[in-house]
Amino acid sequence: MLVSVIGLAAVLALVFLRMPIAIAMGIVGFAGYAEERGFRASISMVGRLVIDTAQDYGLSVVPLFILMGLFVSKGGLSRELYQVSYAFLGHFRGGLAMATIVACAGFSAICGSSLATAATMSKVAMPQMRKYNYKDSLSTASIAAGGTLGILIPPSVILVIYGLLTETSIGKLFIAGIIPGLLGVLLYLVAVKFTVMRDPLAGPAGEKSSAALRLAALRGVWAVLLLFFLVIGGLYGVLDVWPLNLTFSPTEAAGMGAAGAFLIALSRGSLNFTATVQVLVDAAQTAAALFTVLIGAWVFSNFVNLAGLPEGLKTMVTSAGLGPMTVMMMILLIYVLLGCVFESLSMLLLTVPIFFPLVTGLGFDPVWFGIIVVVVTEISLITPPVGLNVFVLKGVVGDVSTATIFRGVTPFWIVDIIRLALLVLIPSLVLFLPNSM
């Protein structure tokens, strides 16, 4: 166990020295495995992992969902989602910020990426909120916080990666994320309401839309609803009725989603040959980067499992007489602290191989733990000093200081902590839908 602890410390040190986490985990995992089993065995292990990853049909779900998200962004669906949200919420004080939250939830449901959601919605929502004299702190905070929903509301790339790492049902993870995702939307709306109650000038009321405008806005999102229904309905057997009789695996659902998003973008005139090639190149680059990180995580996971770190932690917990919930609270505290210095995917890949065997050994449901990990990861996206969504937003809206954005998101990560506490104390909020499948 001592060797694995040294290895974990080495990974953390290398990451703090700005080495990419995929390389850091790969180097430490390779060296540690070689120390335990020998150099030839370590070479064989890494080679097998690379080949298995390249040939694994199940992993094709990752680039397909990425491709779906990129086509959705190119098709301009985010603007229509924002328009329909504004039509129903814009006349309230803080209504534009509320509309941004709802639009982010809808966009993330067909995009699956927090960073893409934040970057896309900032271009759509920020000009409108400035038009109505919203303070930059609330405007940017609602976009940054709403963007975090992209990794929880299905389909979610990070839930796919968790499922691949832990061999947990991706379908159950997707459906388990629905109630926590909707709860997150509701609590974010409460955070907006609280902000404008404290400072009415932060979010002045906009114009009230007529019934005709609302109906027209609803007609504009039919493509979004159809695409979401196609992917999720096929995945959970909703479409398994005559005359369709369609049931999709996660990979097939991702393929149908990517094809549907492509056709929608094509029908709107958003794609030409050059744009299509660029989308395909971006999807390939993003998927290659994710696979590199996955291989590094699996190499490191093989090392820590061989060195006995998960079993050692379980023995320590048992000998200390700590209850399962006490251990879970300690793990969540570690996640919150790591979230202040690590970006979300790095934190997930570094910790899940260590904590997952311990958590399941203590009797916790792997689907429940996956949602809890993603919610904690969501919090890390908007907490200082890293807050990756904040920095993405800063890159798009360059004239707003990082301090202003972090100040604005404070009520949002506070309600995220409340949501996390509810999900931990009431597991049925997560498990009700997957247990009903």
Task: Tell me the HSE value of 267 on the side-chain side, using a 13 A CA sphere.
Answer: 9
pLDDT, tens digit, 9 for 90 and up, residues 14-52: 888 888 888 988 999 999 999 989 999 999 999 998 888
The CA-to-CA distance between both ends of the chain, in Å, stands at 40
Per-residue pLDDT band for 427 (boundaries 50, 70, 90) equals very high
- Contact present, 264 and 223 (Cβ < 8 Å): yes
In 3-state terms, what secondary structure has residue 383?
A: coil
Delimit the domains of the chain by residue range: 2-435
Q: What is the largest CA-CA distance in the chain?
A: 72
Whole-angstrom distance, CA of residue 42 vs CA of residue 54: 19
pLDDT of residue 112: 66
Q: Is the peptide bond before 385 cis (omega within 30 degrees of 0)?
A: yes
Q: Which amino acid is at 112?
A: G
DSSP 297: H
Bigger pLDDT: 235 or 283? Answer: 283
Whole-angstrom distance, CA of residue 137 vs CA of residue 157: 29
pLDDT, tens digit, 9 for 90 and up, residues 138-185: 999 998 898 888 778 887 888 888 998 888 988 899 899 999 999 999
Please name which of 218, 251, 223, 253 lies closest in space to residue 239, comparing C-alpha atoms: 253
366-380 vs 428-435: helix crossing angle, rounded to 10: 130
Note the pTM of the prediction, 2 decimals.
0.84
- Contact present, 332 and 372 (Cβ < 8 Å): yes
pLDDT, tens digit, 9 for 90 and up, residues 328-370: 988 988 887 777 767 677 788 888 888 998 899 889 999 999 9
Give 137-158 as a DSSP string: HHHHHHHHHHHGGGGTSSS-HH
Per-residue pLDDT band for 210 (boundaries 50, 70, 90) equals confident
* pLDDT(241) > 70: no
pLDDT, tens digit, 9 for 90 and up, residues 230-239: 887 887 777 7
Per-residue pLDDT band for 242 (boundaries 50, 70, 90) equals low
Provide the mean pLDDT of the chain.
Answer: 85
